[in-house]
Structures are given as C-alpha cells and as structure tokens.
Structure 1
C-alpha cells in the first residue's frame, strides 16, 4: 500500500441539529470509517452538554474523543453558530494521545513533565513516526479559568522542542461557564492536552493583523488574580480608555473592544490584551494577564484577510497546500468581521482554506497566552520520507 492510498488523513463534518442525539448521530454518519482513530469536536454551549457528551461517547465508542465549547464554530462551510463541527483523524496517519488536567491553577512543572512523558510514551508505542519533528500538541483550556499563563509556561517547558498551540473554550459570549470534553464528559476548571504524532507535513503558526500603535496607557492599579485593571494613567480605567478612544464610557462595548484593542510591547512585537468587560466601578476585566506597571498601547486593526493571505502563502511555501487547518480564532476577530461587513467574505475564505475550529476566549502558541489572533496548525499531505 502506498502513502497515496491512505488519503485523506482527516475528514470533517458539521451538524446544525439542536438535538444532541441527532447531532451526534449526524457527525458519526459522516466520520465513521474502519480506520477512524480520533475525533476532535467544537460545539456551541447552547447544547444540552450532558446529553451531547453521552451521545458522542456512545456513537464513537472505541475512538478517542476530545473537544470544547465555543464562542462560535468554524465548519466545513465557514462560520457556524449554534452547531457542532468535528474532525475525524485516520489512525494510519495520526497517533493521538490525550490527557485531562483538572484544577489547572495547581498545574506544576512536575505535573507537566508527567503529562508529556505519558503522552509521548503513548504516541511512541503506536510506532507511527519518530517523535522528533513529527509531533505537535494542542491545548483546550477552560476560557474563564484565569489560569492560562501559568499552565502554559509549565507545559511549554516540559514539551521542549515540540510545537504547541490551542484555544480557550467559549460559551457563546455569555461569560458564565466554559467547558472542555474528555473521558466521556464535559469539565470546567480543566484543560485537555492532546499530542499528535503524524506522518503528515504540518506547520504550527500564529498570526494577527493588529497594528498602527497610538496612545500609551500605564497600568497604575490592577488586581492580577482577577485580570482586572482599576486605573490607567492614575485615572479610573474605563474613563481613561474611553478618553483615548474619544468616546463616552457608555460606548465601551464589544464593538469598541474589537475595533480598538490594546497591546503590550515585548521586544519589537505587540501582543494584544483583550478587554472582557467594563465593570460598574469603571474598572476593566481582561482575557489575558495584566499587572501594575505594564504599558498598554492603543492599537488599530489592519487588513485581516490580507494578513491571513500572507500567512497562508508562507505556510504553502513550507508544506504545500494544506489539506486541513485546525484554527483557533479569537471571537473578537469574528465580531470585527461582522462590524465591518466582512463576515461573509471571511467565512468564505476560511471555507476555501479548509479551516475547521472555533472562536475562542484566548489563543495559545508555544507557551504564550494570546488574544485577537488566528492560531493553529496547517496539515499537509503524507511525507514520503519521515524525518
């Protein structure tokens, strides 16, 4: 049997049924094959999650299964909402091992080393491909845990040279409960770590279109544990942010956050710290870590699709045309596309580039917790020679 006989290495599916049992059955009908080895799914938080989890576990019995809730889905048809989308991986092309981590705020370097050792041993036992240069990791985290940074630092240290990316689970922008799925049920205050060992070419990447730095604001009051900034430039945080934007405080909503992000500068690069909400006391809660003394720079979005085009051109130079892209796309990017009237063309673009994934409350890339990025892995065809 030749490598070409094994194509495709992954298949995709979506169900728009709001009934959990029907949705699971439709995914199973689309993905089930004799060589199905693992299913990764992303679902709206509007489902009856207990029923959906039980149905998926029954329909895909004997197959590895992991997923999370979203702030919007990316399906084989582009943007989706209120649905469940999934990827089925052929066991001849992928050895995938997973582990659930509970109470992620207590995750230590020792814990991370044990997780990575277990996952690596499981992949190595499949005898599919050498671990080195043929392996990447995906993390799905509770998006309201406020513990992503410490978790990722520990995990990235333990992974060493293994590239990693991921997304923080959403809940359709209710900001109430976000869930990851593993071992037959949905969990909060938890993370799922998946290790992919593969015979396919791949490229882990992260891209953003935020540019045009403007006014700077110093965090002069903050509660790092809750990711809340109380003061900017010694003024109530929301008042100062509104002043910089030239708007009233009452105008500070998701539209303002999406179109007027703030970022921290590290070296020559800017990293967005997305605002989650304005609180009644005029403090502001963020999706990423904030602390006293950091400088936040007001930014403006550039051209999202041109930025994606440049990133995909770079990826195609590295691995050829991707057969699949697993994408973790910040929900504020999707809102930006809607506010600027580009949601339709953006959805078409994602469909054309074979992106499956979800809109996140934060993205992860090689140990960093990010906001307002498009982060993921592009997967190409089978390698004729394993490295």
Structure 2
C-alpha cells in the first residue's frame, strides 16, 4: 500500500494499561498534518474519565468518536483489554458527527434536524456529492433498550443514505456501556457519524445462522424491557431449554450463542439473541420482542466460510479493501472462542484490514439485529484496477 493510501486511513492500537499512555500511543500513530477525524473502540476496563481527558489533551482540536466494547478488532485481529482506532484524512473523508444524549425522547423531528445538520456540514467541504458518496455510522448505548426507537427515526431521516453500526459493550459484564463524544464518555446516548468520501464503499451485513423447523410463540412479554415471560404459554426459560435439549440451569451466553432464535420478515431471518435467563423463568433479549410474534429456532452454520464468501464478493466489486470497519456481535466471538478458531478468524480479519469491535447488537439500514457481522468495506483508489 502506498504512503498516500496509508494516510487516507491510518490505523492504531494500544495495549497500555493506563489511560495517558494509551492516548500518547494513539496520537503517535495517528497524528499527521491532514488528520481530520478519529474513530476508536476501547475496552470498558479502562478508567473512562481519565481516558476521555487524555484523548482530549493529546489530540487537541481533532474530533474523536468512539465507544466501549465487548472485545476489540485491531490491526492484529481480535484483541481484549486494548484500544483500536482509525484516523481519517480530511482530503479523502468529510465527516460530521452528533450526539443523541436522550435516546428515550428521540423522535423523527429531532432526527431530521440532526441529519440535515450533518449533511450540511459534510457538503460544506465540497469533497463529493452527498448522494451515493456517503454512509452513516451509529454507536449506541448497548444497554439502553432504545435502539429500535432511535434507529426508526434515523432511518426515515437518512432516506437513501446507507447506515450501519453497533451497540457499545462492556466486556460481557452487562452493567455499563458508553459512547464517546466531545471529549467524554456518555451513557444512555448515541453517537451518529456521517462520512462523505470520493472512495468507493459498500455497507453490508451477514450471518451464519440457519433455520430449524421448530417455532416458539411469544405469549407473554414486556416489550419495553425486552423481557419474555412465556413462550408457547410455558415459562420462557423452561420452554427454550426444552427446545434445545439442555437443563434450564445451564443457560448462559455460550448456550444462547449456539442456539439463537430469529424473527422472519419476508424471506429473511433476523436473529433475536437472548441476553440472560432470570430466576423467575423469564428471558431478556438484546432486541425488541413483543407478545404475539413467532420466533423460529435457529442453528449455527459454518462461520468462517460465510464470512470469507462475503469478503470475496466485496473484493470482486471494490478490489482489495483499503479498510473495513466491522461491528461483530460478541456472541459470534464467543462461538469462535468455543470452537478454538480464534487464530484463524484473527488472521482473516487482519488480511481484510478490519478494524472494529465486538458489539451487544448491530444496526443495518434501520434494523437492530444480533449475531451478525455488519460493516462498511472501503475500496482503494482505482478499486478493481489495484488487484
């Protein structure tokens, strides 16, 4: 890759244990005269107050947006307890960002105002037309339970602009997730980033989940809390455990990852991953669930062949990727770890120049989904001619 291409999208990582050294590491790797924006993903184990202050100090006036994770994807593949970052050259990327600080109250009018401002900011740089040359990234508080409301409003406001994103994680503790905007970390919030570029790109999503014959009807649920009390008129956890053939006491993240449920919309299945089982026999989900919906029992297919096929198709269209920003569900990572294929997956992500994070949910064109790999592949100048 040429020096010029390297400056378009620089990548960085730091495994330093303290916040100030992390900020120093990232600044040393990313800062150059044309740096216009930094996107980062960090372990929730850091002192977030100190990390926010240090990043603001070492990056000066450069805008940064980021979030906490359930695992990082770095230039070396999968990482844990570290920070992974991307620096965007303002000569190739015009970037505008905003914060939704009260996801509970966000509505279509506010979404339209936000998107109009972002489009205006990007357009003022006269880099490329907005239409067909822009995509949006959303980073949402992964424990807010308000992703669907926010995404519905944003999807209507974005119109034909493709958008994707991920829900922030907290290293699988399920207690506190944060997004970073304007120099500090926020909870209960969402960061929205509009990226305009003259480079070719494609927003995509994929999963390796296959349908079984069995169905489960949600017969009692609290949709606001994403909590299901009954499936097929039986205690939800008991019915789910019976369906997959395990004792209810053994239900945990790894069981949920191996035996997902999904809702069918037209001909596509959208996974509704289970977050936890409760002592009262109810189940909490990562996505919206309502009384009356039908859930299809699913099984996992081969993960790596599915991912390899998607990237082969992307390369046929775009050429070798300059970079891919990836939102990879943490349940997929648990599956990779359980099947001892971490080294294989990491090597593949490294070859495809994927930078991103393991999420508590993914977003794709207004849909909040689970157990997917969702992202944007950005092509090199010249695209297919570079192969």
TM-score, normalization by structure 2:
0.97
SS at match of 1:161: coil
Shift in Å, 1:5: 4.7
Q: Is the 8 A contact 2:211 2:296 kept in 1?
A: no
Distance of 1:320 and 1:133 partners within structure 2: 18
Which position in structure 2 is the counterpart of 1:120?
119
Structure 2's unaligned 5+ residue stretches are none
Q: Is the 8 A contact 1:140 1:180 kept in 2?
A: yes
Q: Is the 8 A contact 1:201 1:383 kept in 2?
A: no
Which position in structure 2 is the counterpart of 1:367?
366
Which position in structure 2 is the counterpart of 1:81?
80
Which position in structure 2 is the counterpart of 1:268?
267
Shift in Å, 1:212: 3.6
Which position in structure 2 is the counterpart of 1:292?
291
Which position in structure 2 is the counterpart of 1:50?
49
SS at match of 2:200: strand
Q: Is the 8 A contact 2:275 2:285 kept in 1?
A: yes
SS at match of 1:226: coil
Shift in Å, 1:297: 1.1
Which position in structure 1 is the counterpart of 2:225?
226
Structure 1's unaligned 5+ residue stretches are none
Shift in Å, 1:4: 8.8
- Name the Cα RMSD after superposition: 1.2
TM-score, normalization by structure 1:
0.97
Distance of 1:84 and 1:342 partners within structure 2: 22
Which position in structure 1 is the counterpart of 2:94?
95
Distance of 2:74 and 2:229 partners within structure 1: 39
Q: Is the 8 A contact 1:199 1:383 kept in 2?
A: no
Kindly report structure 1 stretches of 4+ aligned residues shifted beyond 6 Å.
none
Note the 1:204-215 alignment, pairs <5 A. Answer: 204-215=203-214
Deviates more, 1:33-42 or 1:342-351: 342-351
Distance of 1:68 and 1:99 partners within structure 2: 14
Which position in structure 2 is the counterpart of 1:106?
105
Distance of 1:349 and 1:7 partners within structure 2: 20
Distance of 2:132 and 2:6 partners within structure 1: 21
Q: Is the 8 A contact 1:326 1:357 kept in 2?
A: yes
Shift in Å, 1:321: 1.1
SS at match of 2:224: helix
Which position in structure 1 is the counterpart of 2:308?
309
Distance of 1:213 and 1:377 partners within structure 2: 30
Matched, 1:72 2:84: no
Shift in Å, 1:383: 5.8
Which position in structure 2 is the counterpart of 1:18?
17
Which position in structure 2 is the counterpart of 1:201?
200
